[in-house]
Amino acid sequence: MNIIRYIIQKEFRQIFRNKSMLPIIFVLPMVQLIILSNAATFEVKNIKFGYIDNDKTSFSRELIEKFDASTYFNVLSAFPSAKIASSAMLKGNVDVVLEIPQYFERNLVKDKKTDLSLTINAIDGAAAGVENVYVNQIVQQFNKKAQVTLMLSGTPEVRPQNIDTIPLFWYNETLNYKTFMVPGILVLLVTMITLFLSGMNVVREKEIGTLEQINVTPIKKHQFIIGKLFPFLILGLVLLTVGLIIAKLLFNVPIVGSIALMYGYTIVYILVILGIGLFISNYTDTQQQAMFIAWFFMVIFILMSGLFTPIESMPQWAQVLTEFNPIKYFVQVMRMVMLKGAGLSDIYPQFLKTLAYALIMNGLAVMSYKKLT
């Protein structure tokens, strides 16, 4: 027991002695949490909208005003010709262009039907779909109003059947994406710090040559690994605590569920990450190799965690792969416990999987550490 205590003491000293690392470990993640949580929204707004008005009547201007009034569209410019509009779109100055044809009003009155041509930059396919829906809604409303203003008395009134869709957003009525993103990004930051630090740890000693000194001492394998794990576990929990305080005070993220459960799960989770880190560290020769591998897994874990893009939309084989992604479970658990107030009975599948993962990874870490060089 004493031996482990000394190793832990040594590790803590090494962390706190390196003054240039401290801000990177403690300040940088929190700054990122505060800034980056604001960035992650799929909401489509401030759409860069331009138009070509070939009709130039009060009627066509009224349609443009509808777009102006909408909060989704940022009406930027009137283009004199389609050519100039398409050049602006190539430049990326505008994403949606509406062209109102000549005799727009006259044809509508005469033929009862007229077209509008709409061009949408569809590189971001999902956004383009939403933009199309928004434009259609505005035109639809305008259409209904035109009905009233242009309709001559005596024409029989047609009443179309309407289906009203009322969207209700549970647990987060205002669709405040920050309540979702803050816990998620906090998870990422805690994971990154603990994975990178533990991944570099043993291999650094290898590179500097101090590992050999430890190898000739009577320290046992498991003592060594536990001594290495513990400081980073504490570090991860400190980061989580500071992050949760920021989430609560600055972002006003509700914490509905049990805090004890959250911490209990986090401890198991950090053990998984540390196990992966030490495993990488034991298997590599240089810090450079270790960091490349850690980076490789980190990017995959982040992008396939379901935090930024939904897992359900991935192809089946990719969904199977995400079963091995610890961040996926952490994001799910944080979301369920913090926002929905889920209890242990709700999260036990994730809990058990994470626990199994932790046992396997740390077993591998102990096994892969060889006292020979």
Partner 1 sequence: MKRFIGFIKKEFYHIFRDKRSLFILFGMPIVQVLLFGFAITNEINNIDIAILDHSKDATTKEIINKISASKYFSIKQFIDNEAAIETAFRKGQIKAVLNFEKDFGKKLVAQDKATVQTLTDATDPNTANTISNYVSSILQNYQREINKDAQLAFQIVPKTRLIYNPELKSVFMFVPGVMTIILMLVSAMMTSISITREKELGTMEILLVSPLKPFQVIVGKVVPYIFLAVINAIIIILLSIFVFRMPVRGSFILLGAESVLFIINALSLGILISTVSASQQTAMMVSLMGLMLPVILLSGFIFPISSMPFPLQVISNIIPAKWFIIILKGIMLKGVGLAYLWKETLIMLAMTSFFIALSVKKYKIRLE
* Residues 241-300 interacting with partner 1 (rule: CB under 8 A): 284-289, 291-296, 298-300
Q: Is 353 in the site for partner 1 (CB under 8 A)?
A: no
Q: Which of 161, 218, 260, 372 binds partner 1 (CB under 8 A)?
A: 161
Q: Which of 4, 7, 52, 189 binds partner 1 (CB under 8 A)?
A: 189
CA distances from 332 to 12, 200, 209, 212, 306 (A): 31, 28, 41, 41, 9
Shortest distance, position 197 Cβ to partner 1, whole Å: 8
Q: Which of 58, 170, 260, 370 binds partner 1 (CB under 8 A)?
A: 170
Q: Is 219 in the site for partner 1 (CB under 8 A)?
A: no
Shortest distance, position 347 Cβ to partner 1, whole Å: 9
Q: Which of 2, 17, 159, 373 binds partner 1 (CB under 8 A)?
A: 159
Q: Is 180 in the site for partner 1 (CB under 8 A)?
A: yes
Shortest distance, position 321 Cβ to partner 1, whole Å: 8
Shortest distance, position 266 Cβ to partner 1, whole Å: 18
The amino acid present at 152, given as its one-letter code, is L
Helices 2-17 and 221-249, interaxial angle, to 10°?
50
Cβ count near 307 (within 10 Å): 25
d(CA 265, CA 299): 23
Q: Is 17 in the site for partner 1 (CB under 8 A)?
A: no
Cβ count near 16 (within 10 Å): 12
Q: Which of 69, 78, 84, 150 binds partner 1 (CB under 8 A)?
A: 150
List of residues 6+ apart from 284 with CB closer than 8 A: 203, 290, 293
The amino acid present at 42, given as its one-letter code, is F
Q: Is 120 in the site for partner 1 (CB under 8 A)?
A: yes
Which residues ranging from 74 to 113 are in contact with partner 1 (CB under 8 A)? 89-92, 98, 108, 112-113
- Pick between residue 125 and residue 218 the one whose CB is nearest to partner 1: 125
Q: Is 339 in the site for partner 1 (CB under 8 A)?
A: yes
Instruction: Write the DSSP assignment of 195-230 as a string of letters.
Output: HHHHHHHHHHHHHHTHHHHHHTSS--HHHHHHHHHH
Shortest distance, position 125 Cβ to partner 1, whole Å: 3
Taking the CA atoms of 134, 136, 138 and 140 in sequence, report the sign of the dihedral they define. negative
Q: Point out which span in 146-154, 218-226, 238-246, 266-274 binds partner 1 (CB under 8 A).
A: 146-154
d(CA 317, CA 153): 62
Cβ count near 172 (within 10 Å): 14
C-beta separation of 162 from 30 below 8 A:
no
Distance of CA 24 to the CA centre of its chain: 22
- The mark string for 18-37 relative to partner 1 (x by CB under 8 A, - otherwise) is x-xx--xx--xx--x--xx-
Q: Give ∠ CA 158-139-103 in degrees, rounded to 5.
A: 90
Q: Point out which span in 4-12, 41-49, 244-252, 266-274 binds partner 1 (CB under 8 A).
A: 41-49
**Beta pairing, strands 96-100 & 73-78:** unpaired
Shortest distance, position 3 Cβ to partner 1, whole Å: 25
Shortest distance, position 306 Cβ to partner 1, whole Å: 8
Shortest distance, position 189 Cβ to partner 1, whole Å: 8
